[in-house]
């Protein structure tokens, strides 16, 4: 308790927004996994960028994008011609370079040095012209960079592969924006509406309840203050709404995906318990009626406004509210201690 009822009220509302955002973000992540949103976007990107045919070891011709998805180094839980949710930059580079340097007339051949790669990439007709030039530029840059390095800790091919991996990472950064626009934001809005309406999380009613119930307000404020130092919660927040397509780890197996989904369910249940610790969140039609027992237009308008305010708050995300929670919590005391210059 801060000793300032209004401050406790504010931080209580912020804490509610934070918990609702945790519930929503966990539900969104589960939906994205269930809908294979990341995998679908990766598939679309691969088939759009690498849209020329390449010869397979069995002699058949398929789109290069499909060949990359079906390559042994990147296939995991995905089916034929399907992408995983995450794709390692190293595995992508390995699959891409193996496919474009494959020689049908000599199936066992593989480039032995950077010049072999340059020759193979120059001859292939399976790459878009612009990207073919990019790969050649990377290969020649790697060749020149290797010459200028005094301590040879990496080969020319290693430098070349690293450049391809960096290109992949930058491409994933760009399609992250597409992911947010196409999937994450619409699904978050949908989930925010469902959560808010289901729990009757009306911002106006919640503020009125906390204002008129000092015990509940104090209890919720203390929960909020304690949450700012909860290391487990901080670690959880760092993972919220982190959208990525590339991964330095191996593709997750079924057990890992199941474990992740179970953890999301636990996060939702934990957040729900935090919400019910100080107040009831249920629907009651009486709250929409006036003293005469008739539905009140004013109360209905107030309810809709309060629900919309909560929905907009959830759309801001759990990290946003956790940051605000920390800042408001500092108002309880003197704030952060000044830095002492060790030289004085």
Across all residues in the chain, what is the average pLDDT? Answer: 80
**223, two tokens:** 């929960």
Any idea what DSSP says for residue 113?
A: S
Tell me, what's the pLDDT at 157? 92
DSSP 137-198: HHHHHHHHHHHH-SS--S-HHHHHHHHHHHHHHHHHHHHHHHHIIIIIHHHHHHHHHHHHHH
Range 314-339 average pLDDT: 74
Is residue 39 scored above 50 in pLDDT? yes
Range 297-326 average pLDDT: 91
Displacement of CA 138 from its chain's centroid (Å): 30
Is residue 50 scored above 70 in pLDDT? yes
Is residue 264 scored above 60 in pLDDT? no
107-162 pLDDT per residue, tens: 888 888 999 999 999 999 999 999 999 999 999 999 888 888 767 778 899 999 99
Range 167-176 average pLDDT: 89
How far apart CA 337 and CA 340 sit, in angstroms, is 9
Range 250-275 average pLDDT: 54
Is residue 305 scored above 90 in pLDDT? yes
How far apart CA 337 and CA 334 sit, in angstroms, is 8
* List of E strands, the chain: 53-55, 61-63
Q: Are 190 and 198 in contact (CB under 8 A)?
A: no
Residue 289, phi then psi, degrees to nearest 5: -110, 150
Tell me, what's the pLDDT at 309? 96
275-307: b or e for each residue (b if 16 or more CB lie within 10 Å)?
beebbebeeeeeebeeeeeeeeeeeeebbeebb
Is residue 185 scored above 80 in pLDDT? yes
Low-confidence winner among 179-188, 204-213, 322-331, 335-344 (lowest mean pLDDT): 335-344
Tell me, what's the pLDDT at 176? 85
Identify the residue whose tokens are 């290969």.
139
Range 283-289 average pLDDT: 75
Is residue 339 scored above 60 in pLDDT? no
Ramachandran class of 317: left when φ > 0, alpha when ψ lies in -120 to 50, beta otherwise = left
200-233 pLDDT per residue, tens: 889 998 898 888 888 888 888 888 888 888 777 7
Proportion of the chain above pLDDT 90, given as a percent? 24
- Looking at per-residue pLDDT, the higher value among 106 and 63 belongs to 63
338 confidence band (pLDDT: 50, 70, 90): very low
Q: Which residues pair with 55 in a beta bridge?
A: 61
Tell me, what's the pLDDT at 189? 95
**136, two tokens:** 């050649």
Proportion of the chain above pLDDT 70, given as a percent? 79
Is residue 261 scored above 60 in pLDDT? no
314 confidence band (pLDDT: 50, 70, 90): very high
Any idea what DSSP says for residue 282?
A: -
Number of residues in the chain: 344
Any idea what DSSP says for residue 244?
A: -
Displacement of CA 322 from its chain's centroid (Å): 17
Q: Which of 39, 18, 71 is nearest to 318 (CA)?
A: 18
For 264, the enclosing helix (H) or strand (E) is helix 254-276
């Amino acid at each position: 308790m801060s000793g300032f009822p209004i401050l406790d009220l504010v931080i209580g509302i912020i804490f509610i927004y934070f918990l609702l955002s945790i519930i929503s973000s966990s539900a969104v992540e589960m939906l994205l996994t269930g809908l294979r949103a990341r995998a679908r976007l990766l598939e679309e990107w691969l088939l759009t960028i690498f849209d020329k045919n390449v010869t397979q070891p069995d002699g058949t011709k398929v789109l290069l994008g499909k060949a990359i998805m079906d390559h042994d180094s990147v296939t995991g839980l995905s089916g034929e011609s399907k992408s995983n949710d995450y794709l390692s930059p190293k595995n992508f580079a390995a699959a891409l370079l193996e496919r474009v340097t494959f020689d049908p007339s000599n199936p066992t051949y593989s480039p032995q040095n950077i010049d072999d790669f340059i020759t193979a990439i120059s001859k292939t007709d399976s790459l878009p012209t612009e990207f073919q030039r990019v790969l050649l530029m990377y290969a020649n840059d790697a060749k020149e960079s290797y010459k200028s390095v005094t301590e040879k800790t990496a080969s020319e091919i290693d430098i070349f592969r690293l450049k391809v991996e960096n290109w992949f990472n930058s491409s994933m950064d760009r399609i992250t924006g597409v992911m947010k626009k196409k999937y994450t934001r619409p699904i978050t809005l949908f989930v925010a509406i469902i959560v808010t309406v289901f729990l009757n999380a009306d911002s106006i009613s919640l503020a009125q309840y906390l204002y008129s119930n000092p015990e509940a307000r104090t209890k919720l404020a203390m929960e909020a203050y304690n949450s700012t130092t909860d290391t487990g919660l901080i670690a959880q927040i760092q993972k919220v709404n982190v959208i990525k397509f590339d991964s330095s780890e191996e593709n997750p197996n079924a057990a890992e995906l199941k474990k992740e989904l179970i953890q999301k369910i636990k996060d939702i249940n934990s957040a729900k318990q935090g919400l019910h610790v100080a107040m009831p969140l249920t629907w009651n039609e009486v709250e929409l009626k006036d003293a005469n027992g008739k539905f009140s237009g004013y109360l209905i308008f107030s309810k809709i406004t309060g629900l919309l305010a909560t929905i907009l708050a959830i759309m801001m995300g759990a990290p946003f509210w956790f940051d605000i929670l920390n800042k408001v919590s500092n108002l309880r005391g003197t704030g952060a201690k000044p830095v002492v210059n060790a030289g004085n």
